[in-house]
Structure 1
Amino acid sequence: MTTHFRLIFTTCADVSEARSIAEQLVKLKLAACVNILPNVESVYMWQGEVAYATECKLLIKTKSEKMNELIQTIKQLHSYEIPEIQVIDVATGNLAYFNWMDEVLN
């Protein structure tokens, strides 16, 4: 079973920003659901130096046709100069959940 759903990952500076972005994505019907995972430790290169941050990870569930608008909305709302945005194709899963997503995102 191939689906038309996507799972999008991003990180946020703190829970307040994560909640704000999640709420807007759901209100705009760009996401059916957003999970917020607080206190994610990140280690990355920034401006030639190793950087460390405690962030929040968002797991965003959407349909493929909403993906481009969702990505643009994240970029507009995000505090980071270059926000992480990664997209994973959802190959299969619970059909009842996918039906719920279709209903919510219409």
Structure 2
Amino acid sequence: MANETQSIVIANTTVATTGDAEAMARELIGQSIAACVQIDGPITSHYRWAGEVQQSTEFRLTIKTSMATWPKLKERLARIHPYDEPEILMTVVDDASDGYRQWVIDQTT
């Protein structure tokens, strides 16, 4: 298991269109904020918003970055995200192959 300075994280968010997902992925990779962004979808999300039960089609971005870069990623996602209140979740990776972990860190620091 890596120490905190060598840790990687996975962030997740969702958007309404593939165009938004692809534009966000290009920006995050281009700015070296993310090492990899995977886009899944369409998915169906069910949730309560503004007092109403909602259902919508979305695309999920799974974003790999370093722990050191996480604050910058979180801030950038909040700024470029098209939603008023975006889902921005982060999960610490407890363990990963040494080579992949180092690749993520090298791409994002």
Q: TM-score, normalised by structure 2?
A: 0.92
C-alpha distance in structure 2 between counterparts of 1:7 and 1:104, whole Å: 14
Deviation of the 1:65 alpha carbon? 1.1
Identity %: 31
| Paired residues for 1:1-106 under 5 Å | 1-2=1-2, 4-106=7-109
C-alpha distance in structure 2 between counterparts of 1:103 and 1:62, whole Å: 10
Root mean square deviation, CA, Å: 1.0
Read off the aligned partner of 1:26 and give its amino acid letter: I
SS in 2 for 1:81: coil
C-alpha distance in structure 2 between counterparts of 1:78 and 1:36, whole Å: 15
Task: Map Cα deviations across residues 33-79 of structure 1 (whole Å, 9 max, x no partner).
Answer: 00000201100000001000000000000011111111111111111
Read off the aligned partner of 1:54 and give its amino acid letter: T
- Equivalent residues, number: 106
Q: TM-score, normalised by structure 1?
A: 0.95
Structure 1: segments with no counterpart, 5+ residues: none
SS in 1 for 2:34: coil
Structure 2: segments with no counterpart, 5+ residues: none
Deviation of the 1:102 alpha carbon? 2.1
